[in-house]
Amino acid sequence: MIVLGVGATLLAPIIGGTLRRLELPLNDARVIRTQAAAEHLNPALVAAVIYAETRFRPRESSAGALGLMQILPETAQFIAGRTGGIEFTTADLASPEVNVAYGSWYLRYLLDHYGGAELPAVAAYNAGLSEVDGWVAKATAAGHSLSDAEIPYPQTRAYVASVLSAQQAYTATYPHQLGLQ
């Protein structure tokens, strides 16, 4: 019995870590690190957005968003125009390199738009810039920053909570893979 107890004690961290990685997948870590560095982003935030969008299983959404970071074709055209992607086609969004590059660029664009504040930037990634601009304006008029409780869309509120929680989990679970150490 003592041997089983010692064995279970020794295996618990390994099993726990394996289960954590199954629950919190990470693929394309090199692409995430590269694109996060290019856009001066925390790679754990990029991974967290991918996790919230697709759980690292790219697919087409009901709204027509594509790839790991669920980029809408019209958003991709906007990004392509801003970044010099003159030969961009919608099919390019299936490539993790292109999709994460565009998603990271857009995330940086949103963070810059909101003065570096993650909550409204992540909310805008989900609900759209014009919607969140209205929420931010209302909060600013009331004399404070937008809080998660003021996000009127339950789905966006849940999305923001999911991304910010996943960001912490990715930081704790994959510090080496994401280049955080």
Per-residue model confidence as pLDDT tens digits over 56-99: 999 999 999 999 999 999 999 999 999 988 788 999 999 999 99
Cα 120-86-65 angle, rounded to 5 deg: 45
Residue 3 banded pLDDT, cuts 50, 70, 90:
low
**Maximum CA extent, the chain:** 67
Per-residue model confidence as pLDDT tens digits over 9-23: 554 454 444 545 568
pTM check: above 0.75? yes
Tell me the sheet residues that pair with 66: 71
Q: Any idea where the domains of the chain sit in the sequence?
A: 28-173
| Phi, psi values for residue 175, rounded to 5° | -65, -40
Residues 6-41 as b or e (16 or more Cβ within 10 Å = b): eeeeeeeeeeeeeeeeeebebebeebbbbbbeebeb
Protein fold of 28-173: Lysozyme (1.10.530)
Instruction: Quote the pLDDT of residue 19.
Output: 46
User: Crossing angle of helices 43-54/96-113, nearest 10°?
Assistant: 110
Per-residue model confidence as pLDDT tens digits over 99-158: 999 999 999 999 999 999 999 999 999 999 999 999 999 999 999 999 999 999 999 999
Cα 18-22-26 angle, rounded to 5 deg: 105
Instruction: Quote the pLDDT of residue 10.
Output: 52
For all residues of the chain together, what is the average pLDDT? 91
Tokens of 110: 């949103």
Per-residue model confidence as pLDDT tens digits over 136-145: 999 999 999 9
For the chain, percent helix, then strand, then coil, each to nearest 5?
Answer: 70, 0, 30
